[in-house]
Amino acid sequence: MPIHPAVQALADDAQHWRRELHRHPELDYDVGRTAKFVADRLHAFGCDEVNMFIGRSGVVGIIKGRAGAGRTIGLRADMDALPIHEATNLPWQSEVPGRMHACGHDGHTAMLLGAARHLAKTRDFAGTLAVIFQPAEEGGAGAKAMLEDGLMTRWSIEEVYGMHNAPSLPIGAFAIRKGAFLAAADRFTINIEGRGGHAAQPHLGVDPIVAGAQIVVALQSIVSRGADPLDSCVVSVTRFEAGTAFNVIPQSAQLLGTVRTLSDATRAFAQRRLTEIAKGVGAAMGASIEVEYVSGYPVTRNHPEQTDFAAGVARKIVGDTAVVANAPPIMGAEDFSYMLEARPGAFIFVGNGDSAALHHPGYDFNDAALPYGMSYWVELAQSALAA
C-alpha cells in the first residue's frame, strides 16, 4: 500500500531534523548534543518515558499503546558520525571540520524520530514500543554498551529491529536476508622487529620491510588456499609503516588490517592462520614478530521468523517487486549484531538511491528515503503489536 498521508506529512519536519543533525556531527560516545536533540523531541511528542545516558550516551523512549498490556519490541537507530572531512558543498554540510555524517546515521535518527512522533500521537497498537537511539556504532560498540546497561531487561524487550540506508539500492526499495547478513569485523596489528642499518649494507641487518612485504603476500593465502571457497573471507592489510629515510634500513615495521568473515569457524581459522603465517614468515626472514588480534563486531545474523515478518512489512509499503528478501551478504559490519545475539529480530536496508558510497566524503543521506523509512517503522510497530 502507498505511504500513509499522515506519515508523508512528517517528511518536511524529518528533513529539517536530518539536516540539522548533519550540520553538527558528533563521534563515538560523545553525542551529547545529538542525544539532547533526540530527547527534547521525544518529550515534545509525549512519550511515556524518555531515558538518557543508556550505554553512556544513548536515549530510549517508551511509547505505550492505547490497547493496554502486551509485549514490548524495540526499534533502533544510530546517532554517531565519522572522522571524515565532508566534500559535498551542500547548504547543510557539516560545520565541524574533519567530521561528517558519512554513513547516514542522521537519516536513521530522523526516520525513527518521525515514526515515534506518529506512534506517540496515534498509539494504534497494543503493548509497548521502545525507540532506541544508540551512540558509537562506528567502532565503539555502542549497542553492546546499551545491552550491558540493561537495555533489554529493563524494558522487557522481546524483539528488536534495525534499519540502515543502502546507496545503489533504489529509493523505495528494501533488502534483507535470513541468517548471516553482515560480516564479523576483526582487526590485527603485526609488529616486525628486524635489525636496522645502512641501506648500502643490507647483509649486516635484518630488513623488516622485506619481511613485511613477504607477510603481506603470504596472508593472501588464507583466503585463496585456506578458507572454503564457498564461504566468505576477506583479509586486507590496510597500513604499512616503516622507515624515515631513503638510505636507512629501519629497525622495525608495522602492518595493520582487518579480517571479515560470515561464519564462526572461518573466523577462528583466519585468526589462527594469520598468526601462524606472520610468525612463520618472520622467522624465515630472521625477524621477530608480535601479533595483536582483536575480535570486533560479531556476524549480524537475522532471525528467520522476524526476517519474514520484516520483509512482509516492507512489502505492505512498497509492493513485492521492491523488496529483495534474499539479498546477498555484505562484508561490512554492524554492531546491531550484539542486539540480535540478545533478542530475536531483523536488520533491513532501505534504498538511498544513486548516492556516493557509505564512508565517502561525498556521501549524503537522500531525504527522499525518509518517508519510506518512517512508514516501515510505523507499519512494523503496528503489525508486531497489533491490538
Residues with Cβ within 8 Å of residue 16, at least 6 apart in sequence: none
Mean pLDDT of 129-137: 98
Where in the sequence is the domain holding 85, given as residue range(s)?
5-181+299-384
Is the pLDDT reported for residue 112 higher than 90?
A: yes
Q: How far apart are CA 158 and CA 148, in angstroms?
A: 16
Same structural domain, 36 and 151: yes
Mean pLDDT of 138-150: 98
pLDDT in tens, 60-111: 999 999 877 789 999 999 999 999 999 999 999 999 999 999 999 999 999 9
Q: How far apart are CA 277 and CA 326, in angstroms?
A: 36
Among 242, 269, 294, residue at a domain's last position: 294
Residue 251, SS3?
coil
Same structural domain, 67 and 154: yes
Is 55 within 8 Å of 145 (Cβ atoms)? yes
Number of domains composing the chain: 2
State phi, psi for 314 to the nearest 5 degrees: -60, -40
CATH at 148 = 3.40.630.10
Mean pLDDT of 345-372: 98
Angle between helices 370-384 and 105-122 (to 10 degrees): 50
Q: Please give the angle made by the CA atoms of 102, 103 and 104, to the nearest 5 degrees.
A: 100
Residue 314: predicted pLDDT:
98
Which grid cell is 61? 523512549
Q: How far apart are CA 308 and CA 186, in angstroms?
A: 29
Q: How far apart are CA 191 and CA 134, in angstroms?
A: 34
Amino acid (one-letter) located at 210? V
Q: Can you give the pTM of this predicted structure?
A: 0.95
Residue 289: predicted pLDDT:
98
Beta-strand relationship, 128-134 and 72-78: parallel
Place of cell 565519522: 82
pLDDT in tens, 242-294: 999 999 999 999 999 999 999 999 999 999 999 999 999 999 999 999 999 99
Same structural domain, 173 and 209: no
Residue 232: predicted pLDDT:
96
User: Looking at the chain, how many residues does it have?
Assistant: 387
Among 235, 263, 294, residue at a domain's last position: 294
Beta-strand relationship, 323-324 and 174-175: parallel
CA-nearest of 111, 124, 125, 259 to 190 is 259
CA-nearest of 362, 332, 361 to 349 is 332
Sheet holding 345-351, edge to edge: 49-54, 58-64, 128-134, 72-78, 157-166, 345-351, 174-175, 323-324
Same structural domain, 138 and 227: no
Same structural domain, 312 and 355: yes
What percentage of the chain has pLDDT greater than the value 90? 96
Mean pLDDT of 164-192: 98
Is the pLDDT reported for residue 11 higher than 80?
A: yes
CATH at 195 = 3.30.70.360
Same structural domain, 33 and 168: yes
β strands within the chain, DSSP E? 49-54, 58-64, 72-78, 128-134, 157-166, 174-175, 179-182, 184-193, 197-198, 233-242, 248-249, 252-261, 288-294, 300-302, 323-324, 345-351
Same structural domain, 342 and 247: no
Per-residue DSSP letter, 58: E
Residue 69: predicted pLDDT:
76
Same structural domain, 251 and 304: no
Same structural domain, 208 and 341: no
How close are the terminal C-alpha atoms of the chain, in Å? 20
Mean pLDDT of 353-372: 98
Q: How far apart are CA 273 and CA 284, in angstroms?
A: 16
> Taking all residues of the chain, what is their mean pLDDT, rounded to a whole number?
97
Report CA-CA distances (Å) from 52 to 43, 59, 64, 151, 345.
11, 5, 18, 12, 23
Same structural domain, 170 and 188: no
Same structural domain, 325 and 376: yes
pLDDT band at 1 (very low <50, low <70, confident <90, very high): low
Q: How far apart are CA 233 and CA 378, in angstroms?
A: 37
Mean pLDDT of 19-38: 98
Same structural domain, 37 and 151: yes
C-alpha dihedral (131, 44, 349, 372), degrees to nearest 10:
130
Among 245, 268, 294, residue at a domain's last position: 294
Q: How far apart are CA 376 and CA 301, in angstroms?
A: 20
State phi, psi for 276 to the nearest 5 degrees: -60, -45
